[in-house]
Amino acid sequence: MSNKVTIAVLFCLLPLSLMAEEELVKFGNFESWITRSIKESIFVGGKTQTLYEVGPKGAWDGPRAYTNQGGSPWATSNIYAKVAGVVKTNVSVYPDKHRDGQCAKLYTHIVSCKAVGIVNISVLASGSIFLGSIQEPITGSKDPMSKLNVGIPFTKRPKAVKFDYKYYSPGTERIRETGFSRRQTLGGKDMAQVLCLLQKRWEDAEGNIHALRVGTMYKAFSQNTPEWKEGQTFAIHYGDISRESFFRDKMKLMSDANGFCARNSKGQNVRIKEEGWAKPDETPTHIILKFDSSNDGPYVGTIGNTLWVDNVKLVY
């Protein structure tokens, strides 16, 4: 009997992390990538660029709209654009090395599209990976969030998000460069970020998508980490957290001004309207999980900011 009691006591003293069940997000170990070989228009140099998508190893070549392959839930900020008939690409997410395998590298940089008499714009692009998809080709730099279908169906209730990461920032100035005006220098510090939202969504007769916020996790990375941080776990908080000490602006309910878009049953991308906080025991219908090399939205960041991510899991 004493042996049984001892075993029971030892089991109760085990760290929660050892008892927890973990689920790797599909393709979240970033060991396989789809390459896209796209020749840009002669007006902008005519170079052939290689874009990378998270999914089963393969190729998706040519200037054609990409759709998620092999059941991959991931989209990236690597895009094929066709502006005024000019084919242009952006590459801000790459495969990179981690341990004996690969990871995702997210990078903030300037993308220029210059063709005499046709188009002349430069924009700041941050590296992003997220659960969802993108509508290609991109035809302009206005309202980039409207091109994203953010979130996938999901009905579980994980306790946390777990992943490996490394972060680097050159510490130089933050800028805003939209392609519509001159570059602006901003105050403040750029940071990488990860956001996980659980939502209960529904669609009305007009095709508008509404949601209640079921669960929330947000983490910003401000300190350089020369070495990888392995197996870092960040808790998902359920219900109304607006009065909690850890609450931050980035955890607020989404509005039309700061909200993501999702595809409705009519095939249209529309803003997700978060109507309020769900009860703590509510079951979600969708999950949003998004990693970014810069944290202040489209066209704002520090050139050179870099976030490496690997082994993305949900903890139960």
Q: Which residues on neighbouring strands pair with residue 229, listed in sequence order?
A: 165
CB atoms within 10 A of CB 230: 14
What integer pLDDT is reported at residue 17 of this predicted model?
47
Cβ(87)–Cβ(39) below 8 Å: yes
From first to last of the 316 residues of the chain, give the pLDDT tens digit.
456 555 555 545 555 445 679 999 999 999 999 999 999 999 888 999 999 999 999 999 999 999 999 999 999 999 999 988 889 999 999 999 999 999 999 999 999 877 666 667 789 999 999 999 999 999 887 888 899 999 999 999 999 999 999 999 999 999 999 987 889 999 999 999 999 999 999 999 999 999 999 999 999 999 999 999 999 999 999 999 999 999 999 999 998 766 899 999 999 999 999 999 999 999 999 999 999 999 999 999 999 999 999 999 999 9
Q: Is the torsion defined by CA of 7, 19, 21, 159 positive or negative?
A: positive
Pick from 298, 283, 160, 255: which is nearest to 216 by CA? 160
| Closest listed residue to residue 216, CA positions, set 191, 233, 234 | 234
d(CA 73, CA 298): 22
Report the distance separating Cα 114 and Cα 226, nearest Å: 36
Which token pair is 43?
């007006």
The owner of tokens 């995702």 is: 104
Phi first, then psi, for residue 253 (nearest 5°) are -60, 145
Measure the CA–CA gap between 228 and 278, rounded to whole angstroms.
35
Radius of gyration of the CA atoms of the chain, in A:
21
Domains of the chain: 20-315 (2.60.120)
| DSSP labels, the chain | -HHHHHHHHHHHHS-HHHH--EEEPTTTT---EEEEEEEPPGGGT--EEEEEEESSSEE--SS------TT--EEES-EEEEETTEEEEE--EEEEEETTEEEEEEE-EEEEEEETTTEEEEEEE--EEEEEEE-SSB--SSSGGGGEEE-EE-----SEEEEEEEEE-----EEE--SSS--EEE-S---EEEEEEEEEEEE-TTS-EEEEEEEEEEEEE-S--SS-EEEEEEEPEES--TTSTT--GGGSPP-TTT--EEE-TTS-EEEEEEEEEPPTTPPPSEEEEEEESSSS-TTEE-TT-EEEEEEEEEE-
